[in-house]
């Protein structure tokens, strides 16, 4: 029998949906505006005519950006960073979360080790010791300077270890009775059953690696080694230098500093917008099932 909702309940639901829809629109509108500017003529963008729809539609800004070697080089660095960083993140998170998910009777000192990781979430050595460590290891201007200090995010470990703790103990016990070891239990039982949580953490890792920009500025002495977001930061904060040195006068007439910057910003956000819908269905389930438990 279908339960009838009261008028106050309907009002509450309508208010929630209206509020969330309004917040979603507020989040989307700036990106739509940037996309519209990138597809508009330089004169329309400079005059402020562009709102949510392109004016004097043109692809010239994207044609110009794709031809820029600096943009393509920084995109390559970021793709390498995501490929190496996400793989390293997920492997280390799984290897650390599995033993920490055991009871203290199975892993002596388990609580002590867990608190060591939690301590690093609350306190850290600061930027200067981090830079000195990276420099002492000879990692300046290398891809490893971008991925190693983000290799083991503790928040992700907590989510996964609590997800592991929620899996039925009987599965693990049955596997041990059949002669399986911890490696077999981890990779053949725990990991396949943890798809929602792992998909969520993979999304976290991809977004974190893709959007990081400050470490590129700090650890890369040569601008040619900048990841994409660090390069975009230098472009956005630069003053009308984007088109300097261009010899294509026709392109200069159709592409302005503002339209070119808008095109680069949209291209920088596009991969995350494409990846998220495929992982979104795992997102809430992974967060809820892997939330911190008492």
Q: How far is Cα of residue 24 from the mean position of the Cα atoms in its chain?
A: 19
Rounded Cα distance between 46 and 33, Å, is 14
User: What pLDDT is stored for residue 290 in this prediction?
Assistant: 46
Q: Does residue 12 belong to any structural domain of this protein?
A: no
Is 124:235 a contact under the CB 8 Å cutoff? no
Is 198:160 a contact under the CB 8 Å cutoff? yes
- 112-117-122-124 Cα dihedral, nearest 10 degrees: 120
Q: What is the DSSP letter of 53?
A: S
285 contact partners, CB below 8 Å, separation of at least 6:
196, 200
Q: Does residue 158 belong to any structural domain of this protein?
A: yes
User: What pLDDT is stored for residue 97 in this prediction?
Assistant: 92
Q: Does residue 42 belong to any structural domain of this protein?
A: no
Other beta carbons within 10 angstroms of residue 136's beta carbon come to: 9
Rounded Cα distance between 274 and 276, Å, is 6
93 contact partners, CB below 8 Å, separation of at least 6:
152, 153, 156, 157, 160, 201
Query: To 5 degrees, how large is the angle CA 96–CA 100–CA 101?
Result: 115
The domain that holds 181 is classified in CATH as 1.10.3720.10
Q: Does residue 94 belong to any structural domain of this protein?
A: yes
pTM strictly above 0.85: no
Q: Tell me which residue has tokens 């809430």.
A: 284
In terms of residue numbers, what domain contains 186? 62-289
Q: Does residue 160 belong to any structural domain of this protein?
A: yes
Query: To 5 degrees, how large is the angle CA 280–CA 17–CA 51?
Result: 80
4 contact partners, CB below 8 Å, separation of at least 6:
none
Q: Does residue 13 belong to any structural domain of this protein?
A: no
Nearest Cα to Cα of residue 145 among 234, 89, 231, 215:
215
Q: Which alpha helices (DSSP H) does the chain contain, by range?
A: 7-38, 42-47, 60-67, 69-100, 110-122, 127-136, 144-147, 154-165, 169-177, 182-185, 191-193, 195-211, 214-219, 228-237, 249-254, 257-289
What's the pLDDT tens digit per position in 180-219?
888 999 998 999 888 888 888 888 898 889 888 898 999 9
In the chain, which residues have pLDDT < 50?
1, 239-247, 290-294
Q: Does residue 54 belong to any structural domain of this protein?
A: no
Q: Indicate the number of domains in the chain.
A: 1
Query: To 5 degrees, how large is the angle CA 205–CA 209–CA 214?
Result: 140
Q: Does residue 205 belong to any structural domain of this protein?
A: yes
Is 285:196 a contact under the CB 8 Å cutoff? yes
């Amino acid at each position: 029998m279908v339960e009838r909702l009261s008028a106050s309940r309907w009002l509450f639901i309508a208010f929630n949906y209206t509020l969330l829809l309004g917040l979603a629109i507020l989040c989307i509108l700036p990106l739509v505006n940037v996309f519209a500017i990138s597809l508009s003529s330089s004169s329309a963008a400079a005059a402020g005519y562009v709102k949510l729809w392109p004016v004097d539609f043109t692809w010239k800004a994207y044609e110009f950006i794709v031809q820029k070697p600096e943009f393509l080089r920084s995109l390559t660095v970021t793709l390498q960073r995501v490929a190496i960083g996400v793989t390293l993140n997920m492997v280390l998170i799984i290897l650390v979360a599995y033993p920490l998910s055991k009871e203290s009777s199975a892993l002596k000192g388990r609580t002590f080790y867990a608190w060591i990781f939690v301590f690093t979430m609350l306190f850290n050595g600061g930027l200067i010791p981090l830079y000195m460590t990276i420099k002492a290891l000879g990692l300046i201007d290398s891809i490893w300077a971008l991925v190693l200090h983000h290799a083991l995010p503790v928040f992700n470990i907590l989510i996964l270890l609590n997800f592991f703790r929620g899996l039925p103990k009987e599965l693990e016990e049955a596997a041990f009775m059949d002669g399986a070891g911890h490696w077999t239990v981890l990779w053949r039982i725990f990991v396949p059953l943890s798809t929602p949580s792992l998909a969520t953490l993979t999304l976290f890792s991809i977004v974190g690696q893709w959007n990081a920009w400050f470490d590129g500025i700090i650890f890369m002495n040569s601008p040619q080694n900048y990841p994409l977001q660090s390069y975009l930061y230098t472009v956005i904060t630069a003053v009308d230098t984007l088109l300097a040195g261009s010899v294509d006068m026709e392109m200069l007439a159709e592409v302005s500093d503002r339209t070119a910057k808008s095109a680069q910003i949209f291209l920088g956000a596009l991969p995350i917008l494409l990846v998220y819908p495929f992982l979104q269905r795992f997102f809430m389930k992974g967060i809820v099932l892997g939330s911190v438990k008492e």
